């Protein structure tokens, strides 16, 4: 699940340690294969592959698995699948807009799983273009406040590092900072952080909502439920939603978990 709010980061952190780790690993490996297939297996010359590999390493995917995925994708080793990138649009209960990104070797299976997940959880499929206009493609880098060397990242410090590389804003997410840029500036922002010795959790091209739907506790539960079911599909890589969950509602839900 990806989005422009604190609960997105909370969910991201939980995803790395929950029982679906094997499923998460498979999706990260698939991203690496696709990036290597489209841009080659050289990390230095393929920034998309570099970021996919870094994300996999941050999630503790074994290096052997990463290396084999790069080789399969680049054609250096047999066995790579020909994945198709698809984006579906839909709605969660309460009119929350959803963008669902898939990587699949079977289009019919992917669309059937997405449609079933939506319909069984109070959502619906949307026509092409029905919700895409509510999102902008942006570069999103997540930087933990507590750095590996014991230093503490600060908003002012990060702004000083990334402002000249195209960063638009730095948001405080509690235990981390979110750096937003144009998607085309993502690599420059990431490289600025690296040059300054700043560690980051992830650097992704993501869809951020331009209009958000405020949700109460029940509405948030329904949105999270439908996202969880969608993400349980092997074909679904990312789900973006424009539901806005207030901090106090998120805190209540976390207590229930």
Structure confidence by residue, pLDDT tens digits, 48-93: 999 999 999 988 899 999 999 999 999 888 777 788 999 999 999 9
Spell out a b/e string for 32-62, using b for 16 or more CB atoms within 10 Å of the CB, else e: bbbbbbebebebeebbbbbbbbbbbebbebe
Asked if residue 40 belongs to a domain, the reply is: no
> CATH no. for residue 148?
3.30.70.980
Asked if residue 194 belongs to a domain, the reply is: yes
Structure confidence by residue, pLDDT tens digits, 94-133: 999 999 999 999 999 999 999 999 999 999 999 999 999 9
Distance CA 82, CA 64 (A): 21
Mean pLDDT of all residues in the chain?
Answer: 88
* Number of domain units in the chain: 1
pLDDT of residue 254: 76
Asked if residue 104 belongs to a domain, the reply is: no
Region of 252 (left: φ > 0; alpha: ψ -120 to 50; beta: rest) is alpha
Give pTM, 2 decimals: 0.86
pLDDT of residue 253: 79
Across residues 145-157, what is the average pLDDT? Answer: 93
Tokens of 231: 């993400």
> 198: domain range?
135-209
Structure confidence by residue, pLDDT tens digits, 159-182: 999 999 999 999 988 889 999 999
How long a stretch of residues is the chain?
257
Asked if residue 181 belongs to a domain, the reply is: yes
Asked if residue 204 belongs to a domain, the reply is: yes
Asked if residue 168 belongs to a domain, the reply is: yes
């Amino acid at each position: 699940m990806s989005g422009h709010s604190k609960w997105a980061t909370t969910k991201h952190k939980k995803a790395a340690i929950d029982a679906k780790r094997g499923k998460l690993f498979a999706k990260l490996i698939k991203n690496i294969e696709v990036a290597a297939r489209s841009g080659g297996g050289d990390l230095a010359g393929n920034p998309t592959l570099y970021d996919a590999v870094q994300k996999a390493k941050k999630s503790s995917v074994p290096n052997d698995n990463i290396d084999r995925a790069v080789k399969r994708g680049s054609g250096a080793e047999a066995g790579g699948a020909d994945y198709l990138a698809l984006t579906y649009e839909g709605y969660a209960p309460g009119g929350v807009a959803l963008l669902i990104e898939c990587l699949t070797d079977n289009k019919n299976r992917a669309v059937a799983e997405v449609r079933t997940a939506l319909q069984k959880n109070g959502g619906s499929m949307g026509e092409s273009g029905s919700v895409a206009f509510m999102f902008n493609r942006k570069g999103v880098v997540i930087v933990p406040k507590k750095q590996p060397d014991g230093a503490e990242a600060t908003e002012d410090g990060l702004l000083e590092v990334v402002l000249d590389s195209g960063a638009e804003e730095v948001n405080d997410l509690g235990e981390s900072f979110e750096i937003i840029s144009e998607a085309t500036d993502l690599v420059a922002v990431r490289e600025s952080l690296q040059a300054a010795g700043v560690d980051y959790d992830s650097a992704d091209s993501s869809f951020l909502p331009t209009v958000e739907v405020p949700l109460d506790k029940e509405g948030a539960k329904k949105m999270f439920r439908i996202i969880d079911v969608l993400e349980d599909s092997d074909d679904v890589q990312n789900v973006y939603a424009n539901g806005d969950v207030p901090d106090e509602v998120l805190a209540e839900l976390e207590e229930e978990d």
